[in-house]
Chain A
Amino acid sequence: MKYIDEFQDPALARRLLDDIHATVTRPWALMEVCGGQTHTIIRHGIDQLLPEQVELIHGPGCPVCVTPLEVIDKALEIASRPDVIFCSFGDMLRVPGTGRDLFQVRSEGGDVRVVYSPLDALRVAQDNPQRQVVFFGIGFETTAPPNAMTVHQAKKLGIRNFSLLVSHVRVPPAIEAIMKSPSCRVQGFLAAGHVCSVMGVGEYPELAERHRVPVVVTGFEPLDILEGVRRAVRQLERGEHTVENAYARAVRPEGNPAALAMLEDVFEVTDRAWRGIGVIPDSGWRLSARYRDFDAEHRFSVSGIDTREPAECRSGEVLQGLLKPHECEAFGTLCTPRSPLGATMVSSEGACAAYYLYRRLELGTAPAAATTPLEASPVV
């Protein structure tokens, strides 16, 4: 319990932990879907405070990590064009494409700009009517409504030099795919709180019922995670499988109706490839026919790019919870945040980055010990 004093309210953390310890009688494997939750867990050593029987498996919930290499390469291609201003969120800058990243594109003269909001990108388009402005529209259900509103605004204001390179993904089909996989060990889910702030909880009861798996909507703070684990374990021990909302302060059951209506108007559901995982049916959004004019892939010809994934990178297995980051042979040696092989090593929500940031010394993969084989190191 060496980390307990680090919690905001150690007394409450202790109570939750005691309750989990008292409830558990058998081994259980829970998946935290969201990468933000993964970082909280690793940063605070929550996995080490839990009873040995409770295993936390990291899920695919990092939008930066799951954006397919092909889309990154398209982004790099478009961003390199002299007539284009390419706008992106900051955490896409160092995501490796085939051989380079957006950071390098800018150093080679590309006009790459970082925006805080997609509406900022629209403003860049208004201010530069003679240039094409492309916004990199990635993200889960939390990011899709802002991007949808921005395209809607562009259409409403008649802004012709703005387009979206879209790679939006949806969480429930990914959960479905994980449950259907023959190697699946997951017995309960901590669902991503902010996704549910938008979507509500309506997509989950059917999923929970069909796969007989508890789903607990969970926030991002250490106490949120502990409460999510506590509720999931309690359900599992009782043989229940319902949907619970442990993040009621930010999640209403119906989600955000205005955002849902805009999503419905601007996007349509489509199959989408997830980096390292492959195509998951119905797991993404693309612009609906009424907004096709604003699709950067239609506006620019970016086909025929030769994409090459580094053979060493096992981020697909990491994202499906089949492998812990430090079990990848390249972890901390060939692959570091400075020269990442996979997006999971650079994203602020990536699982490999979490282990590199918080567990590196413990795992014996700090630079001084970079050649120490992992097997010989104390493993968590």
Chain B
Amino acid sequence: MCLAVPGRVLDIGEKDGTRMATVDFGGVQKEVCLEYLPDLRVGEYAIVHVGFALQRLDEESARQTLALFEELGMLQEEFGDPWEQAAAQAGADSTWPFADGPFADGPLAGEATAPQHAQEEGRP
């Protein structure tokens, strides 16, 4: 929750008197509040936390960070279905988060995202 994710502004509008934007995070699009970075423009990058743009970022570092977050499964953690993730955590401990052991091929071999195939039996 505490990690901010870089995204690129696609368009800017207004809602309830508040400056809002559609921001793309490596494929996932979210509505983001621009009140804290009012002069951010379409095409620019910013780090975004819980739906608020907090600081400008240059394109190169934004791309690098996004690529890394994607590879590490952190985008799934941030934008995936939290109920599925919680269910997987609650009910699928024997396979969560790794199917066959994180150190089989080095520490990055198993990705630490909650599995996409969240076990159904753990869900309410």
Contact = CB atoms under 8 A, between A and B. Distances in A.
Given A43-B107, A43-B112, A360-B102, A348 B89 contact: no
B112 A149 contact: no
B37 interface: yes
B106 A145 contact: no
A361 B97 contact: no
Interface string A323-347: 0000000000000111100000010
Size category, A interface: 35 or more
B2 A146 contact: no
Given A89-B50, A338-B96, A197 B55 contact: yes
B12 interface: no
A357 B58 CA distance: 32
B52 A250 contact: no
Interface stretch (A1-9, A182-190, A285-293, A299-307): A1-9
B93 A337 contact: yes
B52 A252 contact: no
A172 interface: no
B49 A256 contact: no
B89 A194 contact: no
Contacts of B85: 90
Contact of B36 (A103, A149, A358): A149
Contacts of A339: 93
Contact of A197 (B18, B35, B54, B58): B54
Given A6-B107, A146-B52, A35 B82 contact: no
A220 B51 contact: no
A149 B108 CA distance: 38
Contacts of B83: 90, 93, 114
Interface stretch (A23-31, A68-76, A116-124, A309-317): A116-124
Given A45-B107, A149-B35, A194 B3 contact: yes
A348 B86 CA distance: 11
Given A256-B36, A338-B93, A103 B51 contact: no
Contact of B55 (A120, A139, A251, A337): A251
Contacts of A220: 3
A76 to B, nearest CB: 15
B72 to A, nearest CB: 7
Given A145-B54, A157-B16, A221-B65, A194 B2 contact: yes
Contact of B82 (A93, A346, A357): A93
B51 A118 contact: yes
Contacts of B17: 156
A46 to B, nearest CB: 10
Contacts of B124: 103, 106-107
B61 interface: yes
Contacts of A258: 35-38
Interface in A137-190: 139-140, 142-143, 145-146, 149, 153, 156-157
Contacts of B38: 258
A90 B76 CA distance: 12
B2 A36 contact: yes
A198 interface: yes
Interface string B76-105: 010100110111011111101100011100
B33 interface: yes
B90 A103 contact: yes
Interface in A226-257: 249-252, 256
A91 B82 contact: yes
Contact of A361 (B31, B102, B108): B102
10 contacts: A43-B108, A43-B112, A93-B83, A103-B90, A119-B51, A140-B2, A198-B55, A256-B54, A339-B93, A349-B2
Interface of B: 1-4, 16-18, 30-33, 35-38, 47, 49-52, 54-55, 57-58, 61, 64-65, 67-68, 72, 77, 79, 82-83, 85-87, 89-94, 96-97, 101-103, 106-108, 112, 124
Given A117-B32, A197-B55, A338-B90, 16 more contacts: A43-B107, A44-B107, A89-B1, A90-B83, A103-B124, A143-B2, A197-B54, A198-B54, A250-B47, A259-B54, A262-B35, A338-B93, A338-B96, A339-B93, A349-B2, A367-B94
Interface of A: 2-3, 6, 8, 34-36, 43-45, 61-64, 89-91, 93-94, 103, 106-107, 114, 116-120, 139-140, 142-143, 145-146, 149, 153, 156-157, 192, 194, 197-198, 220-221, 249-252, 256, 258-259, 262, 336-339, 346, 348-349, 357-358, 360-362, 366-367
